[in-house]
């Protein structure tokens, strides 16, 4: 939990200010019953009007100071709790950015959203509650007990009996609701996951007329969430009338036994009133602490979930080496990779090299492991066995930043960010000039953009699949890199556009290019083509070497022959 508490460290001063304000507030609140008692026993008994006025004024002053102190407590506690949530969100976010595919598979993306929003909000509100009630309650409780005892009555046992009653009630409620707090957060994850899936899949849902099915699916989870919430809150709310009943019974007991003592002359009427007020304050503080214990499990659940993100061990760790030569060679040596949740290896015993000024291509059927190979190069995941070398040394030994700066990676799914064309292009090279951007756009055949300020919606949803691919190719080639990895990112382009872009890629002279594709036209002129089947390289060579000699390659060529002819 150390990491969860860390953001509070620079707020110690403010926490101390909260504590000071609380002490002032409690001191003022504790004086009020005594003043009331004095008004009754001295002012009213002796018909001393001036005493009543003076004491009343003192009471007003105390109430005013207490109110100011409350404002101070609220001000600082909201500052500390919001600041804590802000800092924690920042820490969680920067940790998540370091996650590899492995960690993202372990804690799902939807759960990460819930953890960095809902769970941190829970921690924020509980923290505010700690300052405003949990620090306040023991001060008020202990102060009231001392004051009640100072009155010298023999009614203190009534407070003790009430205390036992409160504890029994609280234990019953805690035992009943405790297991459900974890369930609530898990259903919250489920709601998040389902809504995300439905929102992303709206076009498919409509096209397949699946609205009713999806509505039903969402309704079920929503109902489940509602039922658990109702159960928890019903149990918590039933406590309120029971506690009020208990408090009223306590007052009845004080009045009943106090009246006897008053008749015997061993207690003054004002002291009974003060005793009732102090006892009420004691019970109220028990209740506040009790309410906290009911919410505590919720805090623990949220705290554990956020802590899990913060303490997740990163499978991809930074190396030490910084110097990588100009245009080095990357070599795969007997590399295999198994996804954590799958039983067998996705790629097996892969060996090949990416050399400067050479184009390597990978072709193979759907799910044969092409993207998995590419993801290993910028270390989005590390091999399960074998090694990848750069300059003859394992890539794990190099600083991630240095390694990734050498590589331009265009993923299979064109991902654009909300903003404009320029901001998206700057992701590829953060100091690119407008001229460089325009040149890259021209190389990638982006002829549909009117100006660099043109808006890009979230995920690039205002562009077609092929347009998004062209924009992400432009972003990939804007900067100078030693390796350009293109993961099937020509698939939505027409043959002519693809040919024009590939011609322009020849300008990336000294660099090494790796193209993954299922289309022969994309890879036909590569220096080396690797044919992948079922995670293994089954053949390699140039197009002319493979045609006729490699059965699978020839089969792919034959199925695509028509378009090939059109191209030649």
Write out the residues near ligand ATP by the rule CB under 6 A: 101, 105, 339, 341-342, 346, 364, 366-372, 412, 488, 518
Give the nearer residue to ligand ATP in terms of CB position, either 132 or 346: 346
CB 283 to ligand ATP: min, Å: 56
Give the nearer residue to ligand ATP in terms of CB position, either 99 or 286: 99
Is residue 548 classed exposed, middle or buried when 0-12, 13-18 and 19+ CB atoms within 10 A define those classes?
Answer: exposed
Cα–Cα distance measured from residue 405 to residue 257, given in angstroms and rounded to the nearest whole number: 82
Give the nearer residue to ligand ATP in terms of CB position, either 277 or 521: 521
Backbone torsions φ then ψ of 399, nearest 5 degrees: -60, 135
Give the nearer residue to ligand ATP in terms of CB position, either 141 or 369: 369
- Characterise 349 by phi-psi region: left (phi > 0), alpha (psi -120 to 50), beta (else): left
State the pairing for strand pair 536-541/528-533: antiparallel
Cα–Cα distance measured from residue 90 to residue 88, given in angstroms and rounded to the nearest whole number: 5
CB 290 within 8 Å of CB 171 = no
CB 311 within 8 Å of CB 3 = yes
CB 284 within 8 Å of CB 136 = no
| R_g over Cα of the chain | 35
CB 182 to ligand ATP: min, Å: 26
CB 316 within 8 Å of CB 292 = no
Cα–Cα distance measured from residue 224 to residue 216, given in angstroms and rounded to the nearest whole number: 12
CB 96 within 8 Å of CB 309 = yes
CB 174 to ligand ATP: min, Å: 40
H or E element in which residue 167 lies: helix 156-200
CB 348 to ligand ATP: min, Å: 12
C-beta atoms surrounding 160 within 10 Å: 11
Mapped onto helix, strand or coil, the DSSP state of residue 170 is helix
Counting every residue written for the chain, the total comes to 568
CB 373 to ligand ATP: min, Å: 7
CB 106 to ligand ATP: min, Å: 11
CB 130 to ligand ATP: min, Å: 40
CB 209 to ligand ATP: min, Å: 27
Backbone torsions φ then ψ of 121, nearest 5 degrees: -60, -40
CB 347 to ligand ATP: min, Å: 7
Give the nearer residue to ligand ATP in terms of CB position, either 285 or 381: 381
CB 91 to ligand ATP: min, Å: 26
CB 316 within 8 Å of CB 399 = no
CB 365 to ligand ATP: min, Å: 7
Give the nearer residue to ligand ATP in terms of CB position, either 353 or 412: 412
CB 158 within 8 Å of CB 257 = yes
CB within 8 A of 349, min separation 6: which ones? 334, 335, 336, 386, 536
CB within 8 A of 209, min separation 6: which ones? none
Cα–Cα distance measured from residue 483 to residue 358, given in angstroms and rounded to the nearest whole number: 10
Number of helical H runs and strand E runs in the chain:
22, 12
Give the nearer residue to ligand ATP in terms of CB position, either 19 or 339: 339
Give the nearer residue to ligand ATP in terms of CB position, either 17 or 347: 347
Give the nearer residue to ligand ATP in terms of CB position, either 341 or 433: 341
Give the nearer residue to ligand ATP in terms of CB position, either 48 or 101: 101
Give the nearer residue to ligand ATP in terms of CB position, either 162 or 518: 518
C-beta atoms surrounding 482 within 10 Å: 22
């Amino acid at each position: 939990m150390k990491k969860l508490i860390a953001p509070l460290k620079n707020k110690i001063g403010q926490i101390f200010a909260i504590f000071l304000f609380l002490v002032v507030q409690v001191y003022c609140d504790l004086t009020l019953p005594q003043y009331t008692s004095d008004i009754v026993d001295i002012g009213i008994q002796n018909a001393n009007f001036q005493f009543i006025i003076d004491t009343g004024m003192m009471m007003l002053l105390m109430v005013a100071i207490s109110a100011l102190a409350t404002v101070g407590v609220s001000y600082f506690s909201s500052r500390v709790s919001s600041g804590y949530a802000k800092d924690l969100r920042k820490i969680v976010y920067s940790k998540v950015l370091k996650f590899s595919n492995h960690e993202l598979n372990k804690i799902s993306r939807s759960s990460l959203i819930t953890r960095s929003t809902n769970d941190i909000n829970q921690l924020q509100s509980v923290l505010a509650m700690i300052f405003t009630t949990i620090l306040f309650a023991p001060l008020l409780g202990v102060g009231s007990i001392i004051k009640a005892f100072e009155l010298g009555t023999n009614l203190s046992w009534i407070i003790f009996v009430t205390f036992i009653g409160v504890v029994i009630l609280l234990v019953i409620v805690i035992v009943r609701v405790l297991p459900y707090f974890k369930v609530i957060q898990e259903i919250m994850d489920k709601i998040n996951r389902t809504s995300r899936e439905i929102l992303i899949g709206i076009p498919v849902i409509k096209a397949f007329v699946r609205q009713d099915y999806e509505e039903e699916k969402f309704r079920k989870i929503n109902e489940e969430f509602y039922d658990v919430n109702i159960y928890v809150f019903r149990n918590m709310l039933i406590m309120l009338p029971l506690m009020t009943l208990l408090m009223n019974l306590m007052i009845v007991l004080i009045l009943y036994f106090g009246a006897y003592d008053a008749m015997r002359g061993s207690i003054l009427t004002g002291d009974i009133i003060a005793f009732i007020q102090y006892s009420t304050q004691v019970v109220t503080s028990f209740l506040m602490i009790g309410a906290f214990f009911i919410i505590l499990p919720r805090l623990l659940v949220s705290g554990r979930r956020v802590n899990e993100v913060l303490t997740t061990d990163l499978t991809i760790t930074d190396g030490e080496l910084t110097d990588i030569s100009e245009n080095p060679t990357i070599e795969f040596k007997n590399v295999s990779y198994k996804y954590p949740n799958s039983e067998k290896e996705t790629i097996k015993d892969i060996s090949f090299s990416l050399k400067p000024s050479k184009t390597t291509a990978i072709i193979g059927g759907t799910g044969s492991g092409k993207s998995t190979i590419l993801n290993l190069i910028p270390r989005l995941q590390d091999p399960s066995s074998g090694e990848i070398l750069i300059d003859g040394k394992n890539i794990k030994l190099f600083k991630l930043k240095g390694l990734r700066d050498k590589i331009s990676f265009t993923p299979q799914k064109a991902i654009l960010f909300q903003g404009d064309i320029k901001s998206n292009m700057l992701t590829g090279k953060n100091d690119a000039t407008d001229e460089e951007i325009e040149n890259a756009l021209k190389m990638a055949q982006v002829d549909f953009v009117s100006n660099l300020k043109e808006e890009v919606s979230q995920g690039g949803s205002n562009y077609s699949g092929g347009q998004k691919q062209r924009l992400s190719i432009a972003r990939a080639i804007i900067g100078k890199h030693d390796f350009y990895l293109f993961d099937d990112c020509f698939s939505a382009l027409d043959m002519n556009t693809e040919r024009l872009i590939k011609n322009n890629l020849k300008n990336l002279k000294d660099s090494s290019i790796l193209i993954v594709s299922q289309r022969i036209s994309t890879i036909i002129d590569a220096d080396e083509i690797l044919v992948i089947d079922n995670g293994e390289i089954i053949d390699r060579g140039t197009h002319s070497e493979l045609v006729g000699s490699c059965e699978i390659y020839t089969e792919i060529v034959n199925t695509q022959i028509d378009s090939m002819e059109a191209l030649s």
